[in-house]
Structure 1
Amino acid sequence: MMSFTKCKLMHSHKTSVNAALLDDTKLVVERDLHFLRELYISSPEEFVGHWVYANEPIFHEHPLSVGLSGIVYHKVIDEIEKS
């Protein structure tokens, strides 16, 4: 059975959602040792995510591609540029 969790769409040390870019081509999103597999936008600042426990990270293709990677990527870049 799939589990979905409502989360804030941001990368912040105050939230439990972390995103990392690897080799400028892949993105991984992690929360409490679970990795994001699917994402549905529920509002401009929130998303509903399907999180799965996995021994290996789940990678998403180049962040500039359409969909989940691009959405999370832009939030991560915004936070990096602010610091």
Structure 2
Amino acid sequence: MTQPHDPPALPDRLSVDPRSPHHVAEVFQHDIGIRFNGKERFDVDEYCVSEGWVKVPAGKTLDRKGRPLLITLKGTVEAFYKTA
């Protein structure tokens, strides 16, 4: 049984963009880590564990709406909650 302070289960796909249908605000109340191909990444904007990809900014390049241009990297994705 989960306690009220326990974090929710991490979804298979998650986005930091609040406009995305894959954004889950409750998850972002906790520290999340993403391990991609065995290394922890700190620049992930969106991930999908089952499909094995992450989206990260392509340097300082912006799209026509002024948001960072994202590139998709394929590999092994593992999402986890960071513990204090």
Q: TM-score, normalised by structure 2?
A: 0.30
Query: Which protein has the larger Cα radius of gyration, Structure 1 or Structure 2?
Result: 2
Question: Larger relative contact order (C-alpha < 8 A, sep ≥ 6)?
Answer: 1
- Relative to its length, the structure with more helix (as a share) is 1
| TM-score of the pair, normalised by structure 1 | 0.30
